[in-house]
């Protein structure tokens, strides 16, 4: 498995990539290419070019959830095709908004169905032999409860958005399970637990993604850090919507590495 960060909030000197408050990852595994989220604009395309990544070879697009910092890039994707399978939770491509602004995907379900082979699933879905889309995450940790964010229109009915579409990937490697998250609105520990349940004979080796820990309470940070220490045996890569305080709390107990545009992780 080889994972390359195409979009993150963070960049580093002398790398000369574009950064933005979004997330996009390029994953090469089992002879397939997976574009995980698409960031907040078209910068992932420019970063891919600089990194020598050919987006025309995309086999799968996976959306972690429907917020615009993970989906706006979809409207700029230069190679839409029925040969590409797009995978998401059914709620991902519905409208998302509050009283002030729209913050859902600019490309909705009807258009995606015309352009791609669209797989909508609440249940886990095998993308390749060793990659599983986690589906709807079971929310089992009380300390990870989140309030709804705005509203969503599901079958034309307006309702509070509890981000049931928030999910991730589990990748089986020789070292253990590598978990990939988008924002972890469903709880990063809940996501780890679901990934672990799908590969009962494997431990969690690593996790990368947004952990939705911005200005989190001390209690939540403590319990999250302890959970990650217990369950993640290798490296933890918190990024995107994870602030310094949260990274510090996790790093005080676990092996943490910095994430930035252009970073490559190979297992």
Go through the domains of the chain in sequence order and give each one's CATH number: 2-266 (3.60.15.10)
Residue 74 backbone dihedrals phi, psi, to 5 degrees: -60, -35
User: What are 12-38's pLDDT values in tens digits?
Assistant: 988 899 999 999 999 999 999 999 999
**β-strand 117-120 against 125-128: which pairing, if any?**
unpaired
In the structure, what pLDDT confidence band is assigned to residue 47 with cuts at 50, 70 and 90? Answer: very high
User: What are 84-101's pLDDT values in tens digits?
Assistant: 999 999 999 999 999 999
The whole-number average pLDDT for the span 200-204 is 82
pLDDT score of 202: 75
The whole-number average pLDDT for the span 126-153 is 96
pLDDT score of 90: 97
Q: Give the percent of the chain with pLDDT over 70.
A: 100
Q: Where are the beta strands (DSSP E) in 30-121?
A: 32-36, 60-62, 85-88, 96-97, 117-120
Q: Provide the 3-class DSSP secondary structure of residue 195.
A: helix
Residue 84 backbone dihedrals phi, psi, to 5 degrees: -95, 130
pLDDT score of 214: 94
């Amino acid at each position: 498995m080889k994972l390359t960060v195409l979009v993150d909030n963070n960049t580093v000197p002398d790398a000369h990539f574009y950064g933005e408050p979004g997330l996009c990852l390029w994953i090469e595994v089992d002879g397939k290419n997976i574009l995980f989220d698409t960031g907040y604009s078209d910068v992932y395309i420019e970063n891919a070019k600089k990194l020598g990544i050919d987006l025309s070879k995309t086999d799968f697009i996976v959306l972690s959830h429907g917020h615009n910092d993970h989906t706006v890039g979809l409207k700029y994707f230069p190679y839409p095709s029925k040969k590409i399978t797009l995978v998401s939770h059914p709620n991902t491509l519905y409208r998302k908004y509050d009283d002030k602004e729209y913050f859902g995907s600019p490309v909705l379900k009807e258009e995606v169905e015309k352009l791609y082979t669209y797989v909508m699933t609440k249940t886990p879905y095998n993308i390749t032999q060793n990659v599983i889309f986690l589906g709807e995450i079971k929310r089992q940790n009380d300390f990870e409860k989140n309030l709804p964010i705005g509203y969503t229109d599901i079958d034309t009915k307006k309702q509070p958005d509890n981000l049931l579409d928030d999910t991730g990937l589990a990748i089986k490697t020789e070292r253990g399970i590598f978990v990939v998250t988008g924002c972890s609105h469903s709880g990063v520990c809940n996501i780890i637990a679901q990934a672990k349940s799908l590969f009962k004979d494997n431990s969690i080796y690593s996790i990368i993604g947004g952990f939705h820990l911005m200005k989190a309470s001390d209690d939540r940070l403590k319990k999250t850090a302890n959970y990650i220490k217990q369950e993640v045996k290798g490296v933890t890569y918190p990024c995107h919507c994870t602030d310094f305080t949260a990274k510090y709390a996790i790093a005080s107990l676990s092996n943490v590495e910095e994430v930035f545009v252009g970073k490559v992780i190979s297992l």
